[in-house]
Amino acid sequence: MEEGSRFLEALPDRLRPFVALALNTGMRRGELQGLRWDDLDLAGAALRVRRDKAGEGRWVVLNSAAREALLSVTRGQKVLSPYVFCSPEGKFLHNFEREWKPALRAAKTLDFRFHDCRHTFAGRLAMIGTDLYTVQRAGGWKTQVMVQRYAHLSPDHIKAAVERLASRTSDSPTGTKTGTGAQAG
């Protein structure tokens, strides 16, 4: 996580909420770029994606970190645009890579695409024990197959899960019958 913190620190202040929202909602870059102030329901902790990748709209639930990221966008400044995330001139946020790539270099995090925020969102949910149906709904994936492509478990998480077996000594049956003609395999 040290690498992630270095990267967020290397981003310009105005892009930190953009990335924080992606990491806490799984939203795609285009969904974030198209997000408008009238799509937000901060009191209800939700926002509306007008059009997602499938061409449909959906509602996204906001956790406290996502709400704080959105609130920080206007803290101490005037709203310049109907877009939540806009250029310094208040226009649609273009040329995102112009600030993304230098931040990656400064943080020495060269192999991280913006879409990896979506993978990180799904993987983190899976690693805290969230069932895949809930991960699917939270990230707006249409099928379980798609969410399984995103919800990667870290090697450390898998190692810790397997290690928990070593700490459990049990005389409970394993499901393999011996002495009854069944073969272990």
Bridge partners, residue 40, by sequence: 47
Looking at the structure, tell me whether residues 35 and 75 fall in a common domain. Answer: yes
Q: What single-letter amino acid sits at 156? A: D
Which CATH number do you get for residue 13? 1.10.443.10
Looking at the structure, tell me whether residues 65 and 30 fall in a common domain. Answer: yes
User: Where do we find the tokens 């700490």?
Assistant: 167
pLDDT tens digits, the chain, 185 residues: what are they?
466 788 889 998 889 999 999 999 999 999 999 999 999 999 999 999 998 887 889 999 999 999 999 999 988 777 879 999 998 888 888 888 888 999 999 998 878 899 999 999 999 999 999 999 999 999 999 999 988 888 877 788 888 888 888 887 655 555 555 555 555 44
Residue span of the structural domain in which 136 resides = 115-167
pTM for this predicted structure: 0.82
Looking at the structure, tell me whether residues 105 and 85 fall in a common domain. Answer: yes
Q: How far is CA 119 from CA 22, 27, 43, 89, 167, in A?
A: 10, 10, 27, 31, 31
Q: How far apart are the first and last CA of the chain?
A: 40
Looking at the structure, tell me whether residues 88 and 46 fall in a common domain. Answer: yes
Q: Is residue 172, in this structure, part of any structural domain at all?
A: no
Looking at the structure, tell me whether residues 15 and 102 fall in a common domain. Answer: yes
Looking at the structure, tell me whether residues 91 and 134 fall in a common domain. Answer: no
Looking at the structure, tell me whether residues 71 and 154 fall in a common domain. Answer: no
What whole-number distance in Å separates Cα of residue 81 and Cα of residue 45?
22
Backbone region of residue 151 per phi and psi (left: phi > 0; alpha: psi in -120 to 50; beta: other values): beta
CA 42 to chain CA centroid, nearest Å? 19
Number of structural domains found in the chain: 2
